[in-house]
C-alpha cells in the first residue's frame, strides 16, 4: 500500500482542510489537481495550481468553462482504458 499525498487547502470559511491528491492534470499550459477527502474519491474537488514565492497555492476555479474542460480531461483518462 502506498502512502497518499495529502495537501492542505482552505475552505470557504478560511479553515485548513487536508485532502488526498487523486490526480494531477496538465491542460492548456496550466496545472490542476483533483483532491478528495481521504477515502472519499466520489467527493472530489478541482483546484488550479498557482506557483507563488511562498510555494504552490491551490485555488478554486471560478470560470465554469475552465472547470468543465478540466473535468472533461480527467474523465477522458477513464475512456482510454
Sign of the Cα torsion 57, 14, 73, 38 reads positive
Is 2 part of a structural domain of the chain? Answer: yes
Cβ atoms within 10 Å, residue 70: 21
Is 10 part of a structural domain of the chain? Answer: yes
Is 62 part of a structural domain of the chain? Answer: no
Q: Which range marks the domain in which residue 31 is found? A: 1-56
- Structurally, the chain folds into a number of domains equal to 1
Is residue 69 a contact partner of residue 54, using CB atoms and an 8 Å limit?
no
Is 16 part of a structural domain of the chain? Answer: yes
**For residue 30, what are the β-bridge partners?**
27
The whole model's pTM is what? 0.82
pLDDT surpassing 70 at residue 2: no
Is 31 part of a structural domain of the chain? Answer: yes
C-alpha cell at 79: 475512456
Is 13 part of a structural domain of the chain? Answer: yes
pLDDT surpassing 90 at residue 79: no
What is the pLDDT, as a whole number, of residue 30? 96
Q: Under DSSP, is residue 61 helix (H, G, I), strand (E, B) or coil?
A: coil
pLDDT surpassing 80 at residue 1: no
Q: Indicate the average pLDDT of the chain.
A: 87
Residue 15's pLDDT band (boundaries 50, 70, 90)? confident
Rounded distance, CA 77 to CA 31, Å? 16
Amino acid at each position: 500500500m502506498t502512502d497518499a499525498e495529502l495537501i492542505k487547502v482552505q475552505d470557504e470559511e478560511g479553515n485548513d482542510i487536508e485532502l488526498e491528491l487523486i490526480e494531477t492534470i496538465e491542460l492548456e499550459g496550466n496545472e490542476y489537481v483533483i483532491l478528495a477527502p481521504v477515502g472519499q474519491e466520489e467527493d472530489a474537488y478541482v483546484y488550479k495550481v498557482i506557483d507563488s514565492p511562498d510555494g504552490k497555492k491551490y485555488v478554486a476555479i471560478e470560470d465554469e468553462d475552465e472547470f468543465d474542460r478540466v473535468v472533461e480531461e480527467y474523465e477522458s483518462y477513464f475512456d482510454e482504458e
